[in-house]
Copies of this chain bind each other. A is one copy, B any other.
Amino acid sequence: MRLMAESFGRRLWAAVEDRGGLCVGVDPSPEVVAHFEREDSLESVELVALRLVEAASSTASVVKPQVAFFERFGSRGYAVLERVIAEARAAGLLVIADAKRGDIGSSNEGYAATWLDEGSPLASDAVTVSPYLGVDSLEPFRRRCQRGRGLFVLAATSNPEGRSLQGARTAEGVRVFDDVLARVATWNEGADGVGGAGVVLGASAPRGEFALRELRGPVLVPGVGAQGGGLDQVRRLLEGVDRRSIVVSLSRALVESGTSPRHLISSMSRWRDALSENL
């Protein structure tokens, strides 16, 4: 056996076993901030984000801050994001930075260091990335997966505008999203049961030809609830996938019936239980 850090996939297994498969989307958009009856300001963003993290700490295994809603306040917004990430990790939550980064060569090295290196002020457990420049261009992220960090590569998403591109066929006749899944799967070869290289699959994404159980990495599923997908759809889509590798991300659905700590914990607990029963 090679000496290596425990994979992110293994850490996720343990977290999901312990606290369930709910990923709380920390999305302080103007719309979500309004649910908290606050005006849209950086102060409100911080309050909303920390309140979501606090409620998640007793009900969820993972939080996923959407970077865009912090970045809109520039460096001050990033200072708040740093605090949110640190508080979440200190509370024992796994943090997926929802950044959808993706570039070439040395720029990816910069992004991978930003989101996945322990010394970085934005260090998270995993990050979402985009494969438009080729899955293999994501090499700096892959290397960090070998060292215990996690990665979620966009594969097939729920939004209708993405279908045409993601369903296009490569010269080998393979659909783009199937090709992404197959390439990411190779990054988990040699991992002990499950690796750190995962994918994003929307709840209402089309079913492809790649057998998802062969991914042997985590699957992040947005698009349930407010975005319209149902859990039965998710179960069918991910048939054969170890359920400890599946995290379902919700955000608006968690705040719509109230934003007091009690309300948040209650709606998060209900979703956590619904995931346990249905996946």
Contacts and interface: CB of A to CB of B under 8 A. Distances in A.
Interface of A: 27, 29, 31, 66, 68-69, 71-79, 81-82, 98, 100-111, 113-114, 120-122, 130-137, 154, 157, 159-171, 175-176, 179-180
A174 to B, nearest CB: 8
For the complex, would chain A's binding face be called helix, strand, loop or mixed by DSSP majority?
helix
A167 B171 contact: yes
A143 to B, nearest CB: 15
B130 A157 contact: no
Given A79-B75, A130-B130, A69 B107 contact: yes
A111 B68 contact: yes
A71 B114 contact: yes
A113 B77 CA distance: 13
A76 to B, nearest CB: 7
A169 B28 CA distance: 37
Given A71-B122, A165-B180, A167-B171, 14 more contacts: A71-B114, A73-B121, A74-B120, A75-B81, A78-B78, A100-B102, A100-B107, A102-B132, A134-B159, A134-B162, A134-B165, A137-B159, A164-B179, A168-B171
Contacts of A136: 161
Contact of A161 (B29, B111, B113, B134): B134
A167 B162 CA distance: 16
Contact of A68 (B29, B79, B108, B134): B108
A29 B101 CA distance: 17
Contacts of A122: 71, 74
Nearest to A103: B100
Given A110-B68, A131-B165, A163-B134, A75 B121 contact: yes
13 contacts: A71-B110, A71-B111, A72-B110, A72-B120, A75-B121, A98-B103, A100-B102, A102-B132, A130-B132, A130-B133, A133-B154, A134-B165, A137-B161
A120 B176 CA distance: 36
Contacts of A82: 74-75
Given A106-B29, A114-B74, A131-B132, A164 B159 contact: no
Contacts of A137: 159, 161-162
Given A114-B72, A164-B171, A133 B159 contact: yes
